[in-house]
Amino acid sequence: MESKAPDTLERIQQAALDEFSEKGFLGASLRQIVKQAGVTTGAFYGYFSSKEALFASIVEPHAAALMGRFMAAQISFAELPEQDQPARMGEESGAYIHWMLDYICLHREPVKLLLGRSEGTSYENFVHNMVEVEVESTLQYIEVLRRLGQNVPEVDRQMCHILASGMFSGIFEVVVHDMPYEQAVRYVEQLRAFYTAGWARLMTP
């Protein structure tokens, strides 16, 4: 009888990472994962109840880290005195984006699964969920600016969604395309400059 040795778990997860990376969750074969890991089907079920549970064991720590830090940043900014928010916006958003860039570059392979191989799992709307949070925060910030006396033109929810979706997609491209870290930093800085200028234009009557 096989014991639950750490190396057995690691072999299963590594084989799963390879299979999911190549075929996505829906196309991945549990039989192939077990074969590649060199374990029996019975041994597999001693660790995981299903293929989705196996997928979750790989991506959940990273989904939780990315979303958790993102939500914390949003809450922290919203709790600032309203009069301080315009001056702090660039600093606060930049801090999170730089943290996120470092994180996704450090954990490229599981993050790739989360972003592009999760169809058919509870993670398939991960980026969409981040976008929705960003949209809500953006609309709230626009209202803050108006309360502070700024004449901000109408920017509706759909436009906010398009812009936020483009921003997140752009940032995540650095891991989707295996961009070297130094290049990724330059790329994201240019992306931030683009969006900062764009939002400044939209916010101007």
End-to-end CA distance of the chain: 72
The residue-averaged pLDDT of 155-172 equals 95
Burial 125-155 (b: 16+ CB within 10 A, else e): ebbeebbbebbebbeebbebbeeeeeebeee
Q: Smallest Cα–Cα separation from 113: which of 31, 13, 8?
A: 13
| Per-residue model confidence as pLDDT tens digits over 28-40 | 999 999 999 999 9
pLDDT of 54 reads 97
Instruction: Say if residue 9's pLDDT is above 70.
Output: yes
Question: Predicted confidence band at 161 (pLDDT cuts at 50, 70, 90)?
Answer: very high
Question: Predicted confidence band at 205 (pLDDT cuts at 50, 70, 90)?
Answer: confident
pLDDT of 154 reads 92
Question: Predicted confidence band at 73 (pLDDT cuts at 50, 70, 90)?
Answer: very high
Distance between CA atoms of residues 112 and 4, nearest Å: 28
pLDDT of 51 reads 96
Instruction: Say if residue 5's pLDDT is above 70.
Output: no
Do 127 and 72 touch, CB atoms closer than 8 A? Answer: no
* Superfamily of the domain at 1-49: Homeodomain-like (1.10.10.60)
pLDDT of 99 reads 95
Spell out the domain ranges in the chain: 1-49, 58-202
The residue-averaged pLDDT of 118-147 equals 96
Look up the pTM and report it: 0.90
Length of the chain, please? Answer: 205
pLDDT of 119 reads 97
pLDDT of 35 reads 96
The pLDDT > 90 percentage for the chain reads 93
